Chain A
């Protein structure tokens, strides 16, 4: 079992160290406790003895390089087992107070226990709490429940309904407005013939989206400016392609990201899209999965929408809307044929790119959608 060599912490507040000299050459043998390398932290240079006997199989950090404490800097092969540290039991122990009491749910659903905030609001508004349905832990009536109750009550009276703001709604609202205020949104519309894709899809478990993603990543390679962001020091053209996919939720939307989408084939893209969408709906995404997007695709055609003018996800500079795929009569050569067509709507930031660039990009997307040999991209 290989032994991992990590950058040690040589001092209470030291956060990084520099590899000064490797005392053993790669492939060389080292005995237990024999000096393996020299490390410098905070002007102090120290020899690090090898934790085990073995052969220096892999070196990840070169001489002169500085890395954070804990970084894996090398691996020994044939070394004695390095005991993995027991992970802490962690979790919520007596260090967490304020044990959340779950009130007994009585048959009628009325618990009789109301929080101070609930009681105050009920008193102020003259609400009979026994009429309010509880959505909190154990069927507890929450402040929100009372607010909503009041809204429906007044709604019945006047015909209007007040929906209290959810945190997600507030966040979305803020972001949408801010994006419109930040970017110079311009739209350009293309249409693509999806017959090739439709033929290829037949019998395969693939939606249209992986194809679009794939075409977009290749088009980005042709027109890299579409994969950029507006920064303090200039326009940063991103090297990596991380495609965000807008997922509609009951209460709003989330945009999980497929990292390095250009390195993935159709099958993998399809799997990832399905997985991310499912976990977005069940609130099981990790922070990394919603961060780092460089270009976003929004599939608005699901309920029949043809065109759209989507709002760019900051700090990106473009977003592609995919409309409904619909059979339409189109002209091929001099004949009229029926083809499954799809309108593609690109909103782009005119601060960064102009119409010509946007259209060149869209042109490439169209070509890739219509003319790819999809077999090779599975």
Chain B
């Protein structure tokens, strides 16, 4: 991989910006949670930002993502603002679901984001259906979907992988292997070491990528997307990383050995990206400071927007159970 030739400087800088924005936003949300200003669950992608930023940066505007709960970077790249994210967490009417759903269950058809459910891997069959629609209509669009190591234990994962392979659908399956599903370590989740081995069973090509190297994730995504768009079918990409926080922010994750966390702290994706940018001569200390200020401001603007937004009224509970004829995508 030669980043200097394979990735444009602007794109890399843009990815760095989103890594920082994701981190800062999620840290802020965690703080609001600890201050008791956010209720319910908080799920972050702390230490895993390179995955969502990497793959989302490789997509075109009219491609679709069918993410799971550790894809904040992808939401931001697709155009969800920090204000909308915090509003969603605060249950405000200005959030993407108007208070109907919470935390990272964000969905928006216009920005090509499929709102996922809490049942991990349910989004995978849905993603194959999206790809199926593209194929039937002869569109060269692609869908990327993501789940964790735990998600690959579910039947829906296998049914989706199988269907996508049988029909050579334009879908890219990502797996955020952060080594823990809540408190369950990998060895109790599966009898294999590399989740990517599963792809072989479905006749699907796969790649294993360093999930903390945004350039590597980006390039792997690009390869898979190209395959899909050319009609060659699905690819499975396992991104290896580490879940640096608990399953959710209430979880202190005492079950994770401290040494493991220490080891992976050194491989922090933002640190790695900074090192790479400096090495390539694309950025210096000033850039890092500037970006830091930019994202901090963006997050503060967002928090203020969200805190001043109205909550929905009780009776709004009854709205939206059914769609009306005028709403359907033509």
Touching chains A and B, CB distance < 8 Å: no
- A residues near B (Cβ < 8 Å) are none
What residues make up the interface of B, taking CB atoms closer than 8 Å to A? none
